């Protein structure tokens, strides 16, 4: 690691002197930056030269050819080269000032326009008679052919123009930073620091897969010689990124797959019979298949690392129970970790109820949650430690210091996307290589499953329990709210219960609680004085939350006004109506999760999304929600609309930190990277040898939190 960290003091003395040049040079000491721009760059997560070189363009524009002004078409993007004829400031009605600059290229005249930048006029007056290059979108406007707010620069015959006459990078920006500034900064940094960028891919691999070397790739991703070179550069960088990720996953998987590391459970006698007695219903075919896959995995001597994927309401809990039964009947303990107390509570209630029906409740179940009083807590912890507890259910309280298991054999993590990889690992550390099952309610596009969970085997429940009716979803605007409430009243009169979900206010939990409280009060006093309205939010005391959920489950509450605390897992079959206020504040995945709270019983369920639909994006989301209940379709759309990094908070969990790869576009490269990575780890699990030295170091640097025990 030593050569990566440059001593700060030296950098400050002479960042441009070759002896002290380092990719770790702080961004403010880079030529053309300084403290003010450094602040802006920091907002883009650029702190060092290394980060700067890795700040890849969003896209490129081919400005290799100058278009003839006379043959421009409305709507096209074009680069023109012409002589400045005049510059004027023109007042418009709303006291706006438009700066209008006329440029002539011999074939015709174009008007370049800028809003509210009066000072530009003087700048262009000085340029009258000189040639400039401008790039922008062509419009047919009041002055004929126009370009609004184009990028431009003075045309210098011999200079290396960064913004014209070439394939030009377009970077993500932030306030106080402009494209041409950033281009200059990056170009300067490339000239100075590119020779320091280290090749990490072995030559053999690059030759075989026809991948550019790293310095050529970095240069061409920023300032490509041609579109073809840019594509080749991109391919190389995407490969590198996905290859590193897949290597990390392969190494993890390999260390867990080692035979003899895990527990070989035996299939309990009467397993099928006992399961049948416990469950109040017949398993669906998908559930049966998945239970078989899990059982087969648990009986093997390797550690189980399995992802159980199934849409909301597909019945993952009973599958978890089947797995826990195998562990318990082998004399081991099982732990089930849920992301919220409400959900842990619900699992506890459901599971004790089902086990109670066994007649003899010989499997003792305990609930460990943060809010237990210390006496209770101590008791539960003691029972877990002594082995008296067979099934421990809880929140992340389960992974806290002081919780020791007697003989933990199986760990189940529910609703995975709330937990990071590290939490998953912490719970596993409570046992000696226990088997692990990760349950996710969110269908993940297949491509992403490979990317994020490439170290896990996957089981999928692709069938809902019988008798479920498709939830009818309607999008309504604010003006129709009263009608919505009238419909709600009708359904409640028929004995149904409803959720009303309050607007999401991400900025402030306090405001969120306030909104929920106000809404509950409004519904109680103005709309439904004769009904029972309940309120549930994250800042309530746990006892109060429990009491509220219990009352709702028991049917004593007609309408539960709630924040997103009900998003995950809550299961009340009689609640068949959901109204979501300001629905466009939620992402698709979240709306799908919320909606999954209804449609759990025999009755027809309804979901009403209320919002105006002020942007294309929000209209699209409402349309998708109204047209499908298929979690996979929604997940794909969500990924497309939001971009992979934002997918279900995977960014926070630190797994999917992709800078250049695009999960959809780059599936072919992903598949090659995966194949190569797994093959390499099979052959050389510790990446020994000179050819892999740089690769190893980079892998550790990037995935240090990923517990790459083997490579160390
Ligand atoms: P999720 O996969 O969202 O966690 P749950 O495990 O909460 O789903 O199950 C949803 C509901 O479906 C529960 O009320 C559960 O009792 C019921 N259920 C699960 N499996 C079946 C089945 N095979 N037949 C009928 N109902 C089932
Ligand atoms: Mg669940």
Stretch 440-462: mean pLDDT, rounded? 75
Q: Residue 484 and residue 396: Cα distance in Å, rounded?
A: 39
Superfamily of domain 271-299+315-440: P-loop containing nucleotide triphosphate hydrolases (3.40.50.300)
Predicted confidence band of residue 361 (pLDDT cuts 50, 70, 90): low
pLDDT reading at 710 higher than 60? no
Ligand 1 centroid to Cα of residue 460, in Å, is 15
Of the two residues 630 and 381, the one the predictor is more confident about is 381
Query: Does 314 sit in the ligand 1 pocket, CB within 6 Å?
Result: yes
Is the shortest distance between the CB of 441 and ligand 1 below 6 Å? yes
Q: Is 316 in the pocket of ligand 1 (CB under 6 A)?
A: yes
Q: Which atom of ligand 1 is nearest to the CA of 317?
A: 6
Three-state DSSP at 606 gives: strand
Ordered by start, the domain boundaries in the chain are 65-164, 271-299+315-440, 472-628
Give the residue, by CA position, lying nearest to ligand 1 atom 9.
315
Question: In sequence order, what are the beta bridge partners of 169?
Answer: 60
Closest by alpha carbon to 336, among 390, 393, 381, 294?
A: 393
Give yes or no for residue 440 CB within 6 A of ligand 1. Answer: no
| Minimum-distance ligand 1 atom for the alpha carbon of 310 | 2
User: Measured in angstroms, how far is the CA atom of residue 594 from the centroid of ligand 1?
Assistant: 16
Q: How confident is the model at residue 606, as a pLDDT?
A: 94
Terminal-to-terminal C-alpha distance of the chain: 12
Please, how many CA atoms are within 13 Å of residue 361, restricted to the half-sphere of its CB?
13
Q: Whose CA is nearest to atom 23 of ligand 1?
A: 283
Does residue 207 carry a pLDDT above 80? Answer: yes
pLDDT of residue 685: 85
Mean pLDDT of 619-623: 91
pLDDT band at residue 645 using 50, 70 and 90 as cut-offs: very low
Closest C-alpha to ligand 1, atom 13? 315
Q: Compute the chain's Rg from CA coordinates.
A: 30
Per-residue pLDDT band for 175 (boundaries 50, 70, 90) equals: confident
42 φ, ψ (degrees, to nearest 5): -55, -35
pLDDT of residue 657: 57
Residue with tokens 């507890």, as numbered in its chain: 389
Residue with the smallest CA separation from ligand 1 atom 19 is 315
Query: How confident is residue 647, by pLDDT bands cut at 50, 70 and 90?
Result: very low
> Which of 674, 660, 631, 643 minimizes the C-alpha distance to 312?
631
Confidence of residue 8 (pLDDT cuts 50, 70, 90): very low
Is residue 143's pLDDT more than 90? no
Residue 649 has a pLDDT of 39
pLDDT attached to residue 41: 94
Residue 334 in contact with ligand 1 by CB distance below 6 A = no
Nearest residue (CA) to ligand 1, atom 24: 465
Contact 533, 559 (CB under 8 A): yes
Three-state secondary structure call for residue 704: helix
Structure tokens at 417: 């996307």
- Nearest atom in ligand 1 to 350's CA: 16
pLDDT given for residue 425 in this prediction: 63
Q: What is the pLDDT of residues 81-129, one digit of tens each?
A: 999 999 999 987 767 788 999 999 999 999 999 988 888 999 999 999 9
The confidence score (pLDDT) of residue 14 equals 43
pLDDT for 615 equals 77
Among the ranges given (159-163, 327-331, 448-452, 502-506), the one the predictor scored with the smallest mean pLDDT: 159-163
Architecture of domain 65-164: Beta Barrel (2.40)
Closest CA to 466 of 327, 597, 315: 315
pLDDT of residue 6: 36
**What pLDDT is stored for residue 53 in this prediction?**
94
Q: What pLDDT, on the 0 to 100 scale, is given for residue 605? A: 92
Confidence of residue 367 (pLDDT cuts 50, 70, 90): very high
Phi, psi of 36 (to 5 degrees): -70, -50
How far, in Å, CA of 706 to CA of 708, rounded?
6
Residue 443, ligand 1, Cβ within 6 A: no
Q: With a cut of 70, say whether residue 402 has pLDDT above it.
A: yes
- For residue 466, the CA-to-ligand 1 centroid distance in Å is 10
33 lines ligand 1 (CB under 6 A): no
Averaged pLDDT for residues 406-426: 73
- Partners of 25 in beta bridges: none
- Torsion angle of alpha carbons 352, 357, 361, 365, nearest 10°? -10
Instruction: Using the predicted structure, report yes or no on whether residue 272 has a pLDDT greater than 50.
Output: yes
How confident is residue 651, by pLDDT bands cut at 50, 70 and 90?
very low
Residue 447 has pLDDT above 80, yes or no: no
161 CB less than 6 Å from ligand 1? no
Q: For the beta carbon of residue 406, count every other beta carbon within 10 angstroms.
A: 15
The answer, yes or no, to whether any atom of ligand 1 lies below 6 A from the CB of 317, is: yes
| pLDDT of 310 | 86
| Ligand 1 probe mutation, 290, 313, 321, 599, most atoms within 8 A of CB | 313
Sheet holding 457-461, edge to edge: 365-368, 391-394, 333-337, 408-413, 435-440, 305-310, 457-461
In this predicted structure, what is the pLDDT of residue 452?
66
Q: State yes or no: pLDDT of 423 exceeds 70.
A: no
pLDDT at 363 over 50: yes
Report the SS3 class of residue 266.
coil
Mean pLDDT for the chain overall: 84
Secondary-structure breakdown of the chain: helix, strand, coil percentages, each rounded to the nearest 5: 45, 20, 40
- Whether 312 is in the pocket of ligand 1, judged by its Cβ within 6 Å, is yes
Ligand 1 nearest atom to the CA of residue 284, by list position = 23
Lowest mean pLDDT: which of 145-154, 358-367, 422-431, 585-594?
Answer: 422-431
Encoding tokens for residue 638? 């969500």
CATH number of 472-628: 3.40.50.300
Average pLDDT over residues 3-21: 46
Strand 575-580 and strand 606-610: the pairing is parallel
Task: Please write the tens of the pLDDT for every residue from 490-535.
Answer: 999 999 999 999 877 766 778 888 888 999 999 999 999 999 999 9
Most confident by average pLDDT, 100-114, 419-433, 583-597:
100-114
* Mean pLDDT computed over 25-51: 92
Q: What percent of the chain has pLDDT over 70?
A: 86
pLDDT band at 470 (very low <50, low <70, confident <90, very high): confident
Mutate to test the pocket of ligand 1, among 310, 314, 315 (most ligand atoms within 8 A of CB): 315
Verify whether ligand 1 is closer than 6 Å to residue 571 (CB atom): yes
Looking up tokens 């050529």 gives 216
DSSP state of 671: H
Smallest-distance ligand from the CA of 340:
2
Question: Which is the closest atom of ligand 1 to the Cα of 318?
Answer: 6
Q: Is the pLDDT of residue 424 over 70?
A: no
CB-ligand 1 contact for 313 (6 Å cutoff):
yes
Same fold, 271-299+315-440 and 472-628: yes
Ligand 1 atom closest to Cα of 596? Answer: 3
- Whether the per-residue pLDDT at 56 is higher than 60: the answer is yes
The Cα-based distances of 173 to 25, 63, 217, 582, 588 in angstroms read: 21, 20, 22, 29, 26
Going from the Cα of 312 to the center of ligand 2, the distance in angstroms, rounded, reads 7
């Amino acid at each position: 690691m030593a050569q990566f960290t440059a001593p700060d003091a030296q950098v400050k003395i002479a960042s441009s002197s070759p002896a002290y040049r380092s990719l770790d040079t702080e961004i403010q000491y880079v030529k053309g930056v300084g403290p003010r721009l450094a602040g802006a760059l920091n907002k883009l997560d650029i702190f060092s030269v290394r980060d700067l070189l890795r700040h890849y363009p969003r896209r490129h524009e081919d400005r290799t050819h100058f278009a003839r002004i006379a043959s421009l078409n409305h709507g096209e993007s074009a680069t023109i080269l012409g002589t400045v004829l005049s510059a004027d400031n023109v007042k418009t009605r709303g006291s706006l000032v438009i700066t209008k600059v006329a440029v002539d290229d011999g074939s015709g005249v174009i008007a370049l326009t800028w809003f509210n930048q009066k000072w530009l006029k003087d700048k262009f007056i000085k340029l009258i008679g000189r040639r400039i290059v401008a790039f922008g979108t062509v419009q047919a406007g009041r002055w004929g052919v126009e370009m609004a707010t184009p990028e431009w620069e003075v045309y210098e015959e011999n200079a290396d123009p960064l913004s014209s006459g070439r394939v030009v990078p377009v970077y993500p920006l932030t306030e106080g930073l402009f494209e041409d500034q950033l281009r200059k900064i990056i170009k300067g940094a490339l000239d100075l620091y590119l020779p320091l960028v280290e090749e990490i891919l072995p030559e053999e691999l690059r030759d075989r897969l026809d991948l550019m070397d790293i310095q050529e790739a970095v240069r061409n991703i920023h300032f490509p010689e041609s579109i073809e070179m840019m594509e080749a550069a991109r391919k190389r960088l995407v490969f590198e990124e996905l290859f590193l990720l897949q290597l990390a996953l392969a190494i993890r998987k390999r260390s867990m797959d080692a035979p003899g590391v895990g527990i070989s459970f035996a299939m309990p006698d009467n397993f099928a019979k006992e399961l049948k007695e416990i469950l109040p219903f017949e398993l669906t075919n998908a559930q049966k298949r998945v239970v078989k896959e899990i059982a087969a995995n648990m009986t093997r001597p390797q550690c189980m690392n399995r992802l159980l994927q199934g849409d909301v309401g597909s019945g993952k809990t009973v599958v978890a129970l089947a797995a826990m039964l195998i562990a318990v009947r082998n004399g081991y303990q099982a732990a089930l970790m849920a992301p919220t107390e409400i959900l842990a509570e619900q699992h506890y209630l459901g599971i004790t109820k089902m086990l109670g029906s066994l007649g003899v409740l010989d499997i003792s179940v305990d609930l460990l949650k943060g809010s237990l009083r210390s006496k209770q807590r101590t008791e539960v912890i003691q029972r877990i430690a002594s082995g008296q507890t067979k099934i421990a259910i809880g929140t992340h309280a389960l992974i806290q210091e002081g919780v020791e298991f007697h003989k933990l054999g199986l760990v189940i993590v529910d609703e995975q996307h709330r937990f990071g990889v590290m939490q998953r690992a912490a719970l596993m550390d409570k046992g000696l290589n226990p088997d692990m099952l990760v349950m996710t309610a969110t269908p993940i596009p297949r491509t992403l499953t490979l990317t994020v969970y490439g170290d896990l085997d996957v089981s999928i429940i692709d069938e809902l329990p019988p008798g479920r009716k498709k939830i009818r979803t309607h999008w309504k605007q604010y003006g129709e709210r009263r009608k919505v409430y009238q419909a709600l009243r009708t359904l409640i009169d028929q004995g149904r219960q409803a959720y009303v979900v309050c607007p999401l206010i991400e900025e402030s939990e306090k405001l969120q609680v306030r909104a929920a409280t106000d809404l509950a009060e409004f519904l109680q006093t103005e709309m439904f004085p004769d009904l029972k309205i309940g309120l549930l939010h994250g800042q309530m005391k746990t006892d109060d939350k429990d009491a509220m959920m219990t009352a709702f489950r028991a049917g004593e509450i007609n309408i539960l006004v709630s924040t997103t605390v009900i998003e995950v897992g809550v299961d009340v079959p009689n609640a068949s109506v959901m109204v979501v206020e300001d629905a466009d504040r939620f992402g698709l995945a979240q709306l799908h999760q919320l909606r999954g709270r209804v449609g759990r019983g025999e009755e027809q369920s309804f979901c009403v999304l209320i919002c105006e639909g002020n942007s294309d994006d929000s209209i699209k989301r409402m349309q998708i929600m109204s047209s499908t209940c298929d979690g996979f379709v929604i997940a794909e759309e969500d990924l497309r609309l939001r971009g992979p990094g934002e997918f279900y908070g995977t960014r926070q969990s630190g797994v999917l930190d992709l800078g250049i790869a695009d999960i959809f576009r780059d599936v072919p490269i992903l598949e090659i990277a995966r194949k190569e990575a797994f093959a390499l780890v099979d052959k050389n699990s510790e990446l020994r040898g000179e050819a892999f030295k740089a690769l190893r170091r980079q892998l550790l640097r990037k995935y240090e939190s990923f517990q790459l025990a083997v490579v160390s």
